[in-house]
Amino acid sequence: MFVAGPSLKEAIDAAGPLPPRSVRTLAVGLASALGEIHRVGLVHRDLKPSNVLLTDDGPRVIDFGIARAAEGAADITHTGAIIGSPGFMSPEQANGLPVTPASDVFSLGSLLAMAATGHAPFGGTSTPQVLYNVVHGSPDLTSLDPDSRRLIEPCLAKDPRQRPTPAQILDFLGVVSPGAMPWPPSVHALIARQKAAVDQALAVPVPPTGKRRGRKIAVAAATAVVAAGAVTTVVLVNRDSPARPIAQQPSATAPPGDPFSLAALRTVDPCRLLSTDSLPRSGPILQPNPDASELSDCGYYFAENGTGSSGSLSIRLAQPVRGGIGTATKIGRFDAAENPDGNSCTEAGENPSASRFALEFTAIRTAATACAVAREAAEVVLGAVQGNPPRFDATQRTLTGQDWCSASVKQQLASSTGGDFRPETQSLHRCYWGADKNAYSVGVFASSKATRVRADAREIEIDGVKMFEKATDEDCEISWDYVIRPDADARGEQLTVARRGGTAGPGFCDQAREVMKAVKNGLPPTK
């Protein structure tokens, strides 16, 4: 079967690294493919740029010459043999050890890094040096954009147990709508040339009987094109609808009454979940420290008899999950990972209603008691969330209940920029809107009296309202103190619009101001 499209290697050699939008499309397609491969009990074992084709409707995985059933992946040849491509194999594969589906995820991370940067993350002047770097070295991810790095870095964990599964990768990426041109124009031009060459070869007429030489030449030409396309075995990962990548995205809302839905958690005030004596077993006296920039986070000091601090506790109601969590402990209905580290200990439990996020509790105290504090805090907070937790005061001016990934915000972005944006929940109170050229982060940060001092920002006005603008080489951020509370310990709300990507220059912030204006005008009436 012939599929028109250059390999990823050929595309990068000809056109350079892929832009972030195309890397995201590539990641969704390949994670979907690996999910299907692993579902039937296989491990590909040689996922690399030359074994991925870029077609008009997405990527295709090819060449299963060394694929093996997961339970027998080690017996393809003699013990200790290394099978695969050095720059893209996993550490366990490089060591000649048995491989699991997690090995393919490592290869996926290396492949995506090369797609985004143009070079493999593990370099070297010889094969032994490359293999050594794969097993012992750190990947070179310095030139990755932040979003690509958050995707790729967990895939390259040395420990296979720390790598995300294909399903978790899809969950992290969310829905990527199929577009007419998933790749840069130069790649689609390569695809078109391959199609034209095949059409031309197959259009040669069959010669009359006795004059078959010309037909042999035509068939040979078509065969050469197929070989150039490097097609051996092609997997169409979504056979029912190959043009639409398989993806999953947790809903930002849940059925009424679900206390752990993102919509319900947005209204919870984390700085009122614990009182002074909420942790009687582990014993610290708690004093709120609401300095966190996220409205879904809060810190607490440990005060011993009111004479000073002897530790701290932090609560995060929606911490993004990057590589999955363990199940070392059980807290109510939560499977939680307990992670002690010196004098600190973290308990993290995956949100049962939004698997991309965890509820996280970190205590800093003596090594012997930090985990006890974190575990008890988790028990108390989870119990409170399931009951009737304290919420932000909805009778006052507030933006805490807003869903910044909603269709109305997308409409505001489209009306002010003309772009087509795709949402990704960053936190309970912020959304990242990706687009072909420039992306925007829209939402609310917690602000205090201290954060309103902005020596590195300039004051501007939008519709007569004072705001602050801060520009860097690649970003432009505009913030508006929507809620100011005079009490230094009470958190205000800072509406922020940030333009991400591109090259800052004259007029770069103009579009961000238009977006802020549209978002501001779309806010609900003040209560």
CA distance 349 to 351: 6
Q: What is the DSSP string of 220-257?
A: HHHHHHHHHTT-SSEE-SSTT-TTS-------SS-STT
Q: Report in angstroms the alpha-carbon separations of 250 from 214, 294, 354, 433, 439.
A: 58, 21, 6, 16, 21
Helix (H) or strand (E) holding 116: helix 101-117
The DSSP line for 382-440 is HHHHHS---B--TTSS--TT--TTSHHHHHHHHHHH----EEEEEETTEEEEE-SS-EE
Sign of CA dihedral 398, 301, 428, 511: positive
> How would DSSP label each residue in 132-156?
HHHHHSPP--TTS-HHHHHHHHHHT
What residues contact 47, with CB distance under 8 A and at least 6 apart?
30, 34, 61, 88, 104, 107, 108, 111
In whole angstroms, give the CA distance from residue 455 to residue 89: 48
Active site residue: 46, 63, 297, 403, which one? 46
Contact 298, 271 (CB under 8 A): yes
Please count the residues of the chain.
527
56 is catalytic: no
SS3 content of the chain, % helix, strand, coil (to 5): 35, 20, 45
Backbone conformation region of residue 420, classed left if phi is above 0, alpha if psi is from -120 to 50, else beta? beta
Residues forming the active site: 46
